Amino acid sequence: DAKTTQPPSMDCAEGRAANLPCNHSTISGNEYVYWYRQIHSQGPQYIIHGLKNNETNEMASLIITEDRKSSTLILPHATLRDTAVYYCIVSYPYNFNKFYFGSGTKLNVKP
């Protein structure tokens, strides 16, 4: 079962930053936070992951609170193509049988 809590849906205006929250209050010391997304009718796509420090790549930024009980995925300039379901997953690396995708957040980017 998912160890994370995400809002079921969010809206974002095209060109604005999308900030997707995730609560993971029971996260263990060495568990990572992973983010994937699934665009309609496609397979899930990896976005970013982190342990303690904030992370940034070409797709997004991941901000993890100091107590690690929550995190935020930031898409700096959302486009219509970012409309998707975003999954926040907490897991130990390679603990694949505990890699629960949950229900995710449906992000609707609007023109």
Please tell me what DSSP assigns to residue 80: G
63 strand-pairing partners: 72
- For 64, counting Cβ atoms within 10 Å of its Cβ (0-12 exposed, 13-18 middle, 19+ buried), the class is buried
Give the whole-angstrom CA distance, residue 19 versus residue 57. Answer: 15
Select 2 or 19, whichever has its Cβ closest to other proteins: 2
CA distance linking residue 40 with residue 36, whole number of Å: 13
Q: Minimal distance in Å, beta carbon 43 to other proteins?
A: 3
Which residue, chain included where needed, has tokens 């993971």?
24
SS3 54: coil
Least Cβ distance, residue 107 to other proteins (angstroms): 17
- Give the contact letters, 38-77, x = binds to other proteins (CB under 8 A), - = no: x--xxxxxx--x----------------------------
- C-beta of 25 vs 45, nearer to other proteins: 45
Interaction of residue 106 with other proteins, rule CB under 8 A:
no
Does residue number 101 form part of the binding site for other proteins (CB under 8 A)? yes
Tokens of 63: 């901000």
Residue 5 within binding range of other proteins, rule CB under 8 A: no
Q: Note the residues at the interface with other proteins (CB under 8 A).
A: 36, 38, 41-46, 49, 87, 93-94, 96-97, 99, 101-103
